[in-house]
Structure 1
Amino acid sequence: MSKTASELKKLLSLGENQTLEYLTNCELKHCGPRVCAFLNTQGGYLLCGVDDKGQINGVEDAGQIAEKLESQLKSAIQPPVLFSVEVQEVENKQLLVVEAPAGKDIPYAFNSNIYIRVGEQTQQADVDTIRDMVMRKQVEPTRWERLFSSELDEQGLSTIACKKLLSAKRIPKEVAQAEQGLLHQLQLLSLAKYGRLTNAADVLLASAPGKRHPQARVRAVCYRHKADDEYQDLQHLDGPMADVIEQLITFVMRNTPSRARFSSANNQREDIPMYPEQAVREAIVNAFAHRDYSSFAGGIKIEVSPVGLTIWNAGAFPQGIDLQKIKQGHISVLRNPDIAHGLYLQGYMEKLGRGSIVIQDACKNAGLPLPKWHSDSSSGVTLTLFAPEATPEVTPEVTPEVTPEVTPEVTPGIYKLLDCLDGELSTLEIISKLGLKDREHVREVYIKPGLQQTLIELTLPDKPKSPKQKYRLTSLGQQVKQQLSNKKKP
């Protein structure tokens, strides 16, 4: 059955405003000019395995062909640029989807020929068009990522980070097999020029880029209330970008409790992370790839709280992108294509212009509220993933698909705390009920873990140090206390 462009976009989660072109085969001589034309204009998607009427024919041995085609395109298209080739299944048939964002280093050439899109057609650029491209490139300011990094040499690079990048599966063969040394390999990836390393190489691969670029440091905090006098967890991270990304993902997953989901099929409980790791990973990677590195006042900050996960990065949406286009999965207008390319090669950016679609779908499938983006030229871009609202009174039979429930590890200390809490008690009253004397011991072993796991709460949350401060069970704490009580009954 034939599909309209709109239907194919929906099936492939491409967003409604994307430019599509179809090909029945995956031959380089047909794909190359079209990808080149997308790079030289506004970007787009090439669907291989679909005829011009929208009939889905599929591609045999799609996995092998995708790997081969990507390698061929990377060798044939110059200068080096970021695009992706992936396999997607539609109606039990495999398609190749080539995603090409608008390039930053036009004109791009395929086998020494320059192609552009005119209307819905791909055609070879004439002399006047090429001259106009070259003139526009000459007057545009040099991107921050392409500037030379001050005081950085090969000794400042992380050996492990360089090895990870250059051994990645997606690295072009001519880069992996180059014998002229590390700087030459990085030059082939636009991370070095004239024997000097760029800012992109610095933030991607340096052991401590924060020494030269303070804005490259990342701050991650976890708190229960913003008014708390101390954070539950706090980290300042600096290092190769891939390492920092992994540490941030671990930070988020460590500081968010699990929740229970009940399947309608077998009514079995499944413990899952509060936020889907796919959404967390995509959100963090996007912050690194799309942020504005040029401002020393910029940066990335991650906040974990009981109400949600907030990821902030410096710089507003790129020109031509707005909130509506983000929600629709508009193809990326990449602010930092060299940095994004480094992340893509290492497997961190699977869907270049569809990160927002991935995040929304992951949250929706997990039963979470839809995430929200906010962009402001002065304050940057903020993405918020919202925690589910606890609904302990709703039974699995009423909402079989998703019933959020925090499932903390109940230590003996926490159990004793829950058991003694009846109504609202001050610290001294808790100490007395527990039969203990050491105030600091009670705070660290009983009260603090209870707060961290949202089993107890402050009666005066906005005044954590008030002498009138008391503690009481949350609805979750009451639930856990009842469960523990039931277990004790014969």
Structure 2
Amino acid sequence: MNKRDLRELVAEGESDRIEFKKSTGQRTEAVKAVCAMLNGHGGFVLFGVTDKAKVVGQLVAPTTLEDIAAELRRIEPPAFPDIETVNVGKGIAVIVLSVPGSVGPYTYDGRAYLRHGPTTIVMPRHEYERRLVERLHATRRWENEPVPNGVSLQDLDKQEIFFTLDHAIRLGRLEPTDRRDLQSVLRGLELIHEGKLLNAAIVLYGKSDRLKPIYPQLGIRLGRFRGVNRLADFSDNRQYWGNAFSLLRRAESFLMDHVPIAGRVIPGKMVREDQPLYPPRATREALANALCHRDYTVPGGAVAVAMYDDHLEITNPGALHFGITPKKLTRPHESKPWNPIIANVFYRAGIIERWGSGTLNIIDWCIENANPRPVWHEQAGSVYVTFLPAALPATHRAAQDDGPNSKSRRPEVTGQVTGEVAGEVTGEVTGEVTGEVTGQVTGQVTGEVAGEVAGEVGQLLRVMKTEMSRSEIQQVLGLKSQANFRDRYLLPALKDGLIEMTIPDKPNSRMQKYKITAKGIDLLT
């Protein structure tokens, strides 16, 4: 680094990547900043610059650099920032430490640190533990730990295992083999390591009831609520225990029982076209992702599917890792499965497609089915994906003006709808109807729907995970009419104190955004 580089660096001022110290007499605090930068995006620590960005330099004796090196040795695991001096005249210099970025976690004297803007703070314990687990993830994970004593091959569903093998070979995702004994197949699926059966094998193929007290987390909760949040009563409540393949089938069966499917005959073609309220390929992919990426170390944890009058929610216990955020899930991203062995078997079995494309496929399938884009968010140690309903064919034209959830268009139907719903309705409604529907459903849809489909405000709350502008909220909800959005979503939420303006003194500011209040969060939970 030369004088010009130094001037440009100093001119940037202190930030999360730049720290100034007047002299090496402040090296303890300076090395804490080094530790914090190692745990972040890296940066520079400069000795000989005041916190007012004035270059004062300092004398650099042979012991000066030795003292800095001794302080750096208190960082664990060992780190070696580059140390250089830049002469600034009159026998004095600025000492520059160039720090590489990393996930870490690194500690200084047993404590981990983070940069928060231009300041250094102690890393929260939960953040330290998360980073430590991620660092060990390549070699030590729950899924690749040996099963407890007493658990054996006899506890596995052999039929399911050989079905996976045969299907993977048909798909070209496994090479044909003459060795079809159970141990050889499991070794080929990486479910046996050094002669020991792994936890991943139980997740995928565990069957015997005696496994339940040992693996209570292998469950799924399925609920259909008579309302728009969990304060409502159940119309259907199911809980199952079993391996991942059986849980996936249980969840798909539950959705088939409750997701309405509208059918119509395309005029002039005599071809029947069906449209479900939620696209089955998208919900299946979301369920598979939940089973693959969930945290199996939580004994009471379970994947959950909750269907409400105005949305569908799939939850899996466990946080996002490796820098993945809900926003990144909506863009092309590198896939780093939390349970790569389980994910690999799901891939070979044809349950999931190429890694990293699952969330993008979910978005595409929702758009194809006239659903708004799904929303991912992270809350209280779990990851949620929320699906909003599609416009059914009979009302698809109205949806283009008023959005997918207009009260005037959508009765609360949770069973299967068969027949035609695009003019000439000749089928029947089977399953459970949770709204009050009166009148005949013949000819055109002319029956009278008693009651209202509530929940516009609830839909708005569920998509507001950060501060958002009016146009951003409206776009996520898939609404085109500004008046409809303002009158039935935004203003009622503001009036009830469920959201608030970020600039309340200037309601018409072009910088105005909205955020959910504590009252709104309480309503959601």
Partner Cα distance (1:394, 1:291) in 2: 36
TM-score normalised by the chain length of structure 1: 0.52
Match of 2:159 in 1: 160
Residue pair 1:303, 1:310 contacting (<8 A) in 2 also: yes
Is the partner of 1:145 in helix, strand or coil? coil
Q: 1:138 to 1:373 in 2, by over 3 A?
A: closer
Partner Cα distance (1:398, 1:227) in 2: 30
Partner Cα distance (1:356, 1:386) in 2: 15
C-alpha distance after superposition, 1:237-291 (max 9, x if no partner) = 2223212212211211211111356869869873322111111111111111111
Whose RCO is larger (CA < 8 A, sep 6+)? 1
Is the partner of 1:160 in helix, strand or coil? helix
> How far did residue 305 of structure 1 move?
1.7
Q: Structure 1: which 5+ residue stretches go unaligned? A: 1-135, 412-448, 457-472
C-alpha distance after superposition, 1:216-251 (max 9, x if no partner) = 111111122256775222221222321221221121
Residue pair 1:267, 1:396 contacting (<8 A) in 2 also: no
Q: 1:357 to 1:244 in 2, by over 3 A?
A: same
Partner Cα distance (1:372, 1:139) in 2: 27
Residue pair 1:238, 1:244 contacting (<8 A) in 2 also: yes
1:251 aligns with 2:249: no
Give the number of equivalent residue pairs: 293
Is the partner of 2:337 in helix, strand or coil? coil
1:321 aligns with 2:331: no
C-alpha distance after superposition, 1:34-82 (max 9, x if no partner) = xxxxxxxxxxxxxxxxxxxxxxxxxxxxxxxxxxxxxxxxxxxxxxxxx
Match of 1:177 in 2: 178
1:453 aligns with 2:433: yes
> How far did residue 302 of structure 1 move?
0.6
Q: 1:368 to 1:261 in 2, by over 3 A?
A: farther
Partner Cα distance (1:172, 1:409) in 2: 38
Match of 1:291 in 2: 294
Partner Cα distance (1:451, 1:188) in 2: 43
Q: 1:369 to 1:264 in 2, by over 3 A?
A: farther
Is the partner of 2:143 in helix, strand or coil? helix
Match of 1:203 in 2: 203
Q: 1:261 to 1:373 in 2, by over 3 A?
A: farther
Percentage of matched positions with identical amino acids: 27
Residue pair 2:257, 2:431 contacting (<8 A) in 1 also: no
> How far did residue 389 of structure 1 move?
5.9
One-letter amino acid of the counterpart of residue 277, structure 1? P
Match of 1:186 in 2: 186
Partner Cα distance (2:220, 2:289) in 1: 14
Q: 1:155 to 1:312 in 2, by over 3 A?
A: same
Residue pair 1:391, 1:405 contacting (<8 A) in 2 also: no
Q: Residues 50-69 of structure 1 correspond to what in structure 2 (within 5 A)?
A: none
Is the partner of 2:217 in helix, strand or coil? helix
Q: Residues 48-87 of structure 1 correspond to what in structure 2 (within 5 A)?
A: none
The equivalent position to 1:336 in structure 2, one of 314, 336, 339, is: 339
Match of 1:363 in 2: 366
Residue pair 1:290, 1:335 contacting (<8 A) in 2 also: yes
> How far did residue 398 of structure 1 move?
7.9
Residue pair 1:311, 1:382 contacting (<8 A) in 2 also: yes
Structure number with bigger Rg: 2
> How far did residue 188 of structure 1 move?
2.9
Worse-matched range after superposition: 341-350 or 209-218: 209-218
Worse-matched range after superposition: 188-197 or 282-291: 188-197
One-letter amino acid of the counterpart of residue 182, structure 1? L
Q: Residues 47-446 of structure 1 correspond to what in structure 2 (within 5 A)?
A: 142-150=140-148, 151-168=150-167, 169=169, 170=172, 172-173=174-175, 176-178=177-179, 181-208=181-208, 210-225=212-227, 226=229, 230-260=233-263, 270-376=273-379, 378-388=380-390
One-letter amino acid of the counterpart of residue 233, structure 1? D
Residue pair 1:224, 1:452 contacting (<8 A) in 2 also: no
C-alpha distance after superposition, 1:309-329 (max 9, x if no partner) = 110001111222112210003
One-letter amino acid of the counterpart of residue 179, structure 2? A
Q: Structure 2: which 5+ residue stretches go unaligned? A: 1-133, 419-428, 448-525
> How far did residue 205 of structure 1 move?
0.8
Q: 1:261 to 1:309 in 2, by over 3 A?
A: farther
> How far did residue 405 of structure 1 move?
6.0
One-letter amino acid of the counterpart of residue 366, structure 1? N
> How far did residue 484 of structure 1 move?
8.2
